[in-house]
Amino acid sequence: MARSQTLHEYNISRLNIWFAALAVLMVVVVVGMVFDDYNRSWKKYQREFVRLEQEQLGEARLAASEKIKEDRLTKAEERLTEARTELVAQREQLSELDKKHIQVHSEWYRIDQNFRFYKAEYDVVKYEFAVANERHDEAKAEAAGVKLAEMGLELQRMRVAREDAIARREAIEAQMDELRDAETKAQARLAKITEDVDLIDKRLATIQDNWFNKARNAAMLDFIQPSLRVNQILPAGLTYDVNFGVTDRVDRCTTCHLGIDNPRWEDAPQPFTTHPDLDTYVAAASSHPLTDFGCTECHGGRPRGVEFSRAAHTPRDEEQRKEWEEKYGYHKMHHWVLPMLTADDYEAGCVKCHTGVREIPKADTYNAGRQLVEHFGCQGCHKIDGYEDMAKTGPSLKRIADKLTPEFAYRWISDPKLVRPHSVMPQIFHLQNVVGGKDGDPTYWSRRTTAEINGIVAYLFDKSETTDFASAAVPRGNPQRGQQLFESVGCQACHLVAEEEDALEVVGVSPRQFGPNLEAVASKSTIAWTYHWLKDPKSYDPTTRMPNMRLTDQEASDITAYLRTLRADTTTPYGQEPSDPEMVYEILMDYLSNTQPVATAAAQLDAMDERAREVLLGERVIGRQGCFGCHLIEGFEETLPIGTELSGEGSKPLNKFAFNNQHGVEHSVKAWIEHKMLEPRSYDEGMHLLPLEKSRMPRFNMTEEQAKLVTSNVLSWTKHTVPQENQRNLSASEQQAARGEKLVASRNCRGCHIIEGQGGAIASLIEDTGYHPPNLFNEGAKVQPDWLVRFLHEVSPIRPWLNVRMPSFEFTEEERGVVANYFMAVADAHDNPYPQADLLTYADSGSGSGLFELYKCQQCHPSGALSADAPSASELAPNLSLAKNRLRPDWIVSWLTDPQSQMPGTRMPNFFYDDGEYFTDEAPEEIEALRDYLMTLE
């Protein structure tokens, strides 16, 4: 080589040192890269799980081996040894058989192969035959036909030979089995004894820390068949919306939540803990098996995430967030729109599939939230999917002049809660963003508010129709009797009085909160109105949900007298003052110049007198505040509600919520909504807004608990949808049940009756259970639908001794049908009460009549005047002459057989049957005879 050191541009030995150093760097970097890729956080959990499982299995193995009875084990082992010794004695015979078996088997192998090869050739000729015919090559076809016939015979012969070989082989095998029989049985017996331990050993072997498991989980090798790996579930049909398309939902949660479906991990630490409700979720036999539903469809979060933060876990509160930050380096996934729901709101995930129903079984938080949303009437101002066609929350104001004085209306609108602290009506004025001064005028908002409220009052009274209520005379009533009636006829099923409401222990809404709280009612409405309202509510307001209690004039005037005693001090800081005409003008200019030129607006106003301006102002303010969302108001019957649509609110991205200056509010959708519920106007703070730009959301005085429940419900309103076939689709009868449920809720049937195990709210006020309104358990299977429809149309009391009255609801024909169908649907009853024709003959009514006397049915079921030995009124039962048209014959049979099964807690004694046995052999016939008699009794 002619190269010399001096010819080089660089010092080569120094380059070599550089090379060495860089090579080392590269190796270190590559190792680091592999390690970084290998060292995934989920592996830590899987290793920990394996360790815990080893421990658990070790303990289980110990317990299982302790269970094995020592003597049985030794006996089984001895027997096995014995069998084996015996086998040794027959060694020669066995080896002889073995040889024969090998010979026969090889013979079979050869024959079988020949057969299959020949069969292949046969099939080729078959094909040739078909082709020749297709080409009309008759000569060829004929030759092939002849060949096929020959070959067919040969094939048949070969088949017989093959079967013969198999038979011979099986005969030898049978002989061998016979010789080995004792050993096989002894072995099976032993295996049976050690079964549990063996099973554990088998599982242990797969998770042992042996070289095999270590090697397959080693870096660079773990692509083949590792035991530590990402677990994933692909629930069929469920998708994940990637905005411009959908992909399959892939849930990887079980990569770390390894014990989720195994009850043995109940007490294990997270993330291994068992799902708390395996009866309903996750378990294969539950209604929501893991493989069909996955995790994130209900819980939210990022399905594919396998790292703590990247799974979009959501901390319960600030404290937990801090804990997570320390423990897991937690940070929020900013790009994930639907983070995991926290424990308080899990049920918000249910409604995606459980659509079309008011209540979801077991989802207590959701149901309570929904009740509250309906109670406060959120749907009055906001369009919400699933809350359509609901009755307005407040009363109609079309005839307000008959009911109230303008002075009272003014006070009420100023702040309803000051007049009636338990009113559902929210506060609209004097809230934080509409008080104080403006542009250096310290009295601006107080003057403006006065003018606006005066305007509303002026509009309402101006448009109010009047009836003759006001002038009609009201008979004098007795307040004591009135109170008795109030407390007995059933008013309290829907109405509470004053502080009574605070004593209710209820999550969500009690049926007793259905109607308005009646505190201060005397200060509110006039005597004449109260009296006529009680007598016939619908004549005043055809849309009201208040039913007709069929009160006599005297009763109505007594209750009126009692209600007049419910007076409270209604002097509030807001007495009616006249409006400042300049202010009225100014506000109207605000409104009018929004939609028309200032000059036109001014001209319009200048042409009006002061009263007309006030009325116009009222119309504008009502339109802006959306009073018509809850009240029927003349001129606003068709106006669209004022609030934002909330149908997708739960899935709205966080950055669409303006927190403005509310720095104390945690940065989450949930916290934003919750704060809005409690302090609806607070987001206006520190913003420069013109009067008409300010927030209009009224203040409901919700408790924190209520705000949480409502918020949880709002979170369930998402745009995320589940394919129809994956939803909980209602059957025809479930749909009828759902329709009926809505009606039952809208008329508050549960105020009095227990329906589907819920309700009967009024019962708590009636001590004697004999006076409770009837429990409607299994009602659909009990009564004839025709009778129910007739009964709802024209109520005729079944139990005249009850003080509580079934009101007349004045249902439409359709609604009556809905009720009847509802009860049949929930009781799973057929709509034909006479399923068998022979029931209509009532052959045994004669002997039934005797039994009727014998069992003294009429003692408790009086048909006319009470007999001398009649029990007290509370022990009475319905008149049996009603049975014919009212009850289903097959129900009477079940009822007489075992009353408790038909109506838990009934006082009806068991005459024929108890504890799974009839008292006499004749009992079944007697029951049928009684039924026949009842069905003919006039």
Partner 1 sequence: MDLFKEQVNRLFEPATFIGLSTVGFFMLVYSRRVWSTTSFWVGNVVLTLFFGLSALDPNFNKVITKPDNIPILIMVYTAWWTLWLSMNQAITNDQRMELGLPPDEQEDSGKKVWAWPDLVYTELLAMLLVGGLLVIWSIFLKAPLEEPANIADSPNPSKAPWYFLGLQEMLVYYDPWLAGVVFPGLIVVGLMAIPFIDFNPLGNGYFTFRARKFAITWFLFGYIVLWVVLIFLGTFLRGPNWNFYGPYEYWDPHKLEALVNINLSEYFWIKWFQQPLPSNWMIREIPGFVATLAYFSVVGFVLTKTYLKQMHQQMTTIRYGILMTLFLSMMALPLKMLLRWFFDLKYVIAIPEYFFNI
Task: Tell me the C-alpha distance between 601 and 589, whole Å.
Answer: 7
CB nearer to partner 1: pick between 26 and 221 = 26
- Extract the tokens encoding 172: 């030898």
C-alpha to C-alpha distance for 258 and 271, rounded to whole angstroms: 7
By C-beta, is 22 or 472 nearer to partner 1?
A: 22
498 Rama sector, left if φ>0, alpha if ψ -120 to 50, beta otherwise: left
- Please, which residues have CB within 8 angstroms of residue 229's CB and are 6 or more apart in sequence? 222
> Within the chain, how many helices (H) and strands (E) appear?
36, 8
For partner 1, the closer of residues 242 and 503 by Cβ is: 242
Question: Left if phi > 0, otherwise alpha if psi is -120 to 50, otherwise beta: which for 769?
Answer: alpha
Q: Closest distance between partner 1 and the C-beta of residue 306, in Å? A: 15
Phi-psi region of 605 (alpha: psi -120 to 50; beta: other; left: phi over 0): alpha
338 vs 373, beta carbon nearer partner 1: 338
Nearer to partner 1, 36 or 505 (CB): 36
Strand (E) positions, 610-752?
none
How far is it, in rounded angstroms, from Cα 834 to Cα 893? 13
State the Cα–Cα distance between residues 285 and 265, nearest whole angstrom. Answer: 18
- Closest CB 829 distance from partner 1, rounded Å: 47
CB of 40 to partner 1, least distance (A): 13
Closest contact distance (angstroms) between CB of 33 and partner 1 is: 5
Complex with partner 1: residue 32 or 846, whichever CB lies closer: 32
Of the pair 276, 653, the CB lying nearest partner 1 is at 653
In the complex, least distance from residue 223 CB atom to partner 1, rounded to whole angstroms: 20
Provide the minimum distance between the beta carbon of 332 and partner 1 in the complex, in angstroms, as a whole number: 13
Q: How far is 56 from 698, CA to CA, in rounded Å?
A: 57
Encoded tokens for 30: 């590559």
> Which residue has tokens 């002097």?
571
If we measure between CA atoms, which residue out of 46, 81, 314, 114 comes closest to residue 183?
Answer: 81
For partner 1, the closer of residues 162 and 302 by Cβ is: 302
Supply the minimum distance, in Å, between the C-beta of residue 299 and partner 1.
18
Burial 839-866 (b: 16+ CB within 10 A, else e): beebebbebbbebbeeeebbebbbeeee
Which residue's CB is nearer to partner 1, number 3 or number 202? 3
User: What number of other Cβ atoms are within 10 A of residue 575's Cβ?
Assistant: 10
The minimum distance between CB 26 and partner 1, in angstroms, equals: 5
Q: Which is nearer to partner 1, 22 or 171 (CB)?
A: 22
Distance of closest approach, residue 12 Cβ to partner 1, in angstroms: 6
Strand partners, 887: 783
Q: How far is the CB of 330 from partner 1 (least distance, A)?
A: 16
Q: Indicate the residue among 721 and 758 with the shorter CB distance to partner 1.
A: 721
Rounded least distance, CB 386 to partner 1, Å: 21
10 Å Cβ neighbour count for 174? 9
Q: How far is the CB of 684 from partner 1 (least distance, A)?
A: 15
Report CA-CA distances (Å) from 557 to 481, 552, 914: 10, 8, 51
CB of 27 to partner 1, least distance (A): 10
Closest distance to partner 1 from the beta carbon of 29 (Å): 5
Measured CA to CA, the distance from residue 155 to residue 1 in angstroms comes to: 82
532 and 468 Cβ atoms separated by less than 8 Å: no
Q: What sign does the CA torsion over 410, 412, 413, 417 have?
A: positive
**Residue 304 CB, nearest distance to partner 1 (Å)?**
10
User: Nearer to partner 1 by C-beta: 310 or 742?
Assistant: 310
| Residue with Cβ nearer partner 1 (19 or 109) | 19
Which CB sits closer to partner 1, 5 or 471?
5
288: phi then psi, degrees, rounded to nearest 5: -130, 70
Contact 822, 753 (CB under 8 A): no
Residue 208 CB partners (closer than 8 Å, separation 6+): 54
Q: What count of Cα atoms within 13 Å lies in the side-chain half-sphere of residue 801? A: 21
| Nearer of residues 12 and 843 to partner 1, judged by Cβ | 12
Provide CB contacts within 8 A for 468, sequence distance 6+: none
Respond yes or no on whether the N-terminal peptide bond of residue 271 is cis (omega within 30° of 0): yes
| Residue 9 CB, nearest approach to partner 1 (Å) | 4
Locate 409 and state its tokens: 């209306």
Site residues (vs partner 1, CB under 8 A): 3, 7-10, 12, 15, 18-19, 22-23, 25-26, 29-30, 32-33, 36, 242-244, 335-337, 652-653, 655, 658
Yes or no: say if 325 and 318 are a contact pair by the CB < 8 Å rule.
Answer: no
Helix H or strand E segment including 288: strand 288-289
For 143-159, the DSSP string reads HHHHHHHHHHHHHHHHH
Give the residue among 516, 716, 749 at the shortest CA–CA distance from 630: 516
The answer to whether 381 touches 626, Cβ cutoff 8 Å, is yes
Which residue, 11 or 543, is less far from partner 1 as judged by CB? 11
Residue whose entry in the numeric block shows the structure tokens 């502080």: 499
